[in-house]
Copies of this chain bind each other. A is one copy, B any other.
């Protein structure tokens, strides 16, 4: 489990100090941080905590939400993302996960929203370079297209990323969002060194009332993690593998138990050798 990272949302009810201690106790070597948890602790204190614990910070979640219309919404999105880049640099991670954002309220202009994502990326990318942090565009499952992310496939994320230098803009391969894609093998191979993060959790059914919360532990659902991990490895990715689970039942479970399950599943299905 040398490449395993706890994405902090998986133990949502742990504070940042608790999550850091949990990783240390369980022998998990890295953590993916969330901005709200970092803000609770304070950025400088959060950076000190993970550094003193000897943890790597695999990613900071998250920036993005780039689909606003009008100069004010655009300025606010830019400011927010510059702030996130600065935090990422201070926390010692090289990866800021970006969620594109959904359709603005009342809008049906999907093509327009997608164009605005590209425009704002163009403004952000040089700043990412200055901070030494890579913007990692995360395609979300198409069921989130209207309300959360108009970037829906790995191919589309790569079309965007490839407009910029590889050290400035990459992509996230999240099993939950991309497992269904008939183009997956081809697009992961194409991604190559654009892969900035590999996140895992399983597709379980039925979908819950809040579709955001339907993710399961690796091994509980329909995704073939051996095949997916082989594709990502074949593409040259050697970085952290983050477990990111949104699930009320997992969140109700004690954090240390969640980490034990996570580690067991990781050994059984992901990093098996």
Question: With contacts A110-B180, A110-B224, A206-B209 known, what are 14 further pairs, Cβ within 8 A?
Answer: A103-B222, A108-B223, A110-B179, A111-B227, A142-B143, A143-B211, A146-B180, A146-B203, A146-B222, A152-B180, A152-B182, A155-B183, A208-B209, A209-B209
A135 → chain B closest CB, angstroms: 19
CA distance in complex: A205, B103 (Å): 12
> A180–B211 contact, CB under 8 A?
no
A141 within 8 A of B: yes
Residues of chain A touching chain B, judged by Cβ–Cβ distance below 8 Å, are 103, 108-111, 114, 141-143, 145-147, 152-153, 155-156, 159, 179-183, 203, 205-211, 221-224, 227
Query: A181 to chain B: which residues have CB within 8 Å?
Result: 142, 152-153
Query: A145 to chain B: which residues have CB within 8 Å?
Result: 179-180
A84 → chain B closest CB, angstroms: 25
CB-CB nearest in chain B for A147: B205
Chain copies in the assembly? 2
CA distance in complex: A227, B111 (Å): 10
> B182–A143 contact, CB under 8 A?
no
> B205–A114 contact, CB under 8 A?
no
A219 → chain B closest CB, angstroms: 10
CA distance in complex: A59, B1 (Å): 53
Contact of A210 among B114, B142, B180, B206 (CB under 8 A): B206
CB-CB nearest in chain B for A223: B108
CA distance in complex: A206, B102 (Å): 14
Query: A155 to chain B: which residues have CB within 8 Å?
Result: 182-183
A175 → chain B closest CB, angstroms: 12
Supply 30 A–B pairs (Cβ within 8 Å), ascending by A. A108-B222, A108-B223, A108-B224, A109-B224, A110-B179, A110-B224, A141-B142, A141-B143, A142-B142, A142-B181, A143-B207, A145-B179, A145-B180, A146-B203, A146-B221, A146-B222, A147-B205, A152-B180, A152-B181, A152-B182, A153-B183, A155-B183, A156-B182, A206-B209, A206-B210, A206-B211, A207-B211, A208-B209, A209-B209, A211-B211
